[in-house]
Structures are given as C-alpha cells and as structure tokens.
Chains A and B, each alone.
Chain A
Amino acid sequence: AQKITQTQPGMFVQEKEAVTLDCTYDTSDPSYGLFWYKQPSSGEMIFLIYQGSYDQQNATEGRYSLNFQKARKSANLVISASQLGDSAMYFCAMSRNYQLIWGAGTKLIIKP
C-alpha cells in the first residue's frame, strides 16, 4: 500500500536559517510523483514543488528544493534562508492515479 510519513509534527526555526522537513514514502509503483504543499493559517493549500520518480535531478523552485533520495524513499523539502512568512503547515504528498496520498503534516514556526 502507498504511504507517506512525516515524522516531525512541529518545528521551531530561527529566521534566516535553512530548514529541512522530512518525508518518506512507500510505494511499489515504478512511476509516481511527489509533492510538497504549504498551508498557512488562512487555509489555502499552496503547491510548492514537484518531483517525478524518473527525474534525474532534484527539483528546485526559488528558495525551495526537494532532496530526492530514491533508494531511501525519501523526499525532504529544504527551505533556504527561512522567512517569517514561511510559518505554516507543510504537507508531503504522493500521486496515485488522480488521488493524492497525504502525510500527516509538519507545523513549521519561524522565530524572529
């Protein structure tokens, strides 16, 4: 069965420091996609970054990068130079057909 695990329920990070949010996954499908979403307290679910299982290079989008280690089945999100506006809930997800398998989420709080 497909599964996403996020082991960090909450994290406190000092502003301007880099942050790594952990995500491991389990699937027997050779083709899959991995996603990170950010959900501020306002509720909107914001798409951050995508990594395909066949992609050779780690995905990057501005300050976000995805550290994809296929053999370890991990897809950690790295946020460089954190900002106060990065405080939010972060979800890792994996695609299966038209469905997303979600992790439990990590609540990130950036301290000034």
Chain B
Amino acid sequence: DTEVTQTPKHLVMGMTNKKSLKCEQHMGHRAMYWYKQKAKKPPELMFVYSYEKLSINESVPSRFSPECPNSSLLNLHLHALQPEDSALYLCASSQTSYEQYFGPGTRLTVT
C-alpha cells in the first residue's frame, strides 16, 4: 500500500482566515514533506520532517506553519495568506531519502 491521503481536496479561504491542511500515511515512512506547486511548474519543496522533527524549512513565510503530531500525520497550518499563495499543496512521504510517494493534493484558493 503506497497511499498518502490529504484533506481537504479543495479549500477556499479569505486572507484573514485560519485553516489547516492534513496529510496522513500508514506506510511506516519516517520522512514527510510539504510541497507547493503552481500551474505548469514542478513542485517546490517547503518543509521536510524526518523522524517527526523539522529538518528542512526552505525559507517559507511564517504564515505557513507545519506540524508533525506523530509519525503518520503531517499538518500545514495556514494564517493570513495572500492571493499568490493559491496553489496545489502536495504532501509526500518516504522511507529513505529516495522515492517519495505523494498524496492527491489540496487545491487552495485564497480570495
């Protein structure tokens, strides 16, 4: 089973809202990732958690706040976003530093 699940599938939020994206995997993977992807572009890495600790933060603005409550769950808390933050947000997991398995993504629209 190589399934990574993400909720919600779609999200529309205003610039003053607070919302959260959720990601879950039950493959026993020890690394989890958040990516942001704009249309027709490759994904851009945002955060990496390894063994439930934040190991990489690609200089992401503080209005994005990741959280890893346990080895299976990864959240991305959103607050005071800008319209340019509208994108597809992808979660991924991997057992090693090699192949990553992605979830279906959350399409975020900031109004």
Q: Chain A: residues with CB nearer than 8 A to chain B?
A: 33, 35, 37, 42-47, 50, 89, 91, 93, 95, 97-100, 102-105, 107
A43 contact set on B, CB distance < 8 A = 88, 90, 104-105, 107
- What are 5 A-B residue pairs whose CB atoms fall within 8 Å in the complex? A95-B98, A98-B55, A99-B48, A105-B40, A105-B42
Closest to A97 in B: B97
Closest to A95 in B: B98
- Sorting the interface of chain B by its residue count into under 10, 10 to 19, 20 to 34 or 35 or more gives 20 to 34
Q: Chain B: residues with CB nearer than 8 A to chain A?
A: 2, 31, 33, 40-43, 45, 48, 50, 55-56, 88, 90, 92, 94, 97-105, 107
Known contacts A43-B105, A44-B102, A46-B102; A98/B42 CB under 8 A: no
CA distance A42 to B104 in the complex (A): 8
**CB–CB B88/A33 < 8 A:** no
**CB–CB B102/A99 < 8 A:** no
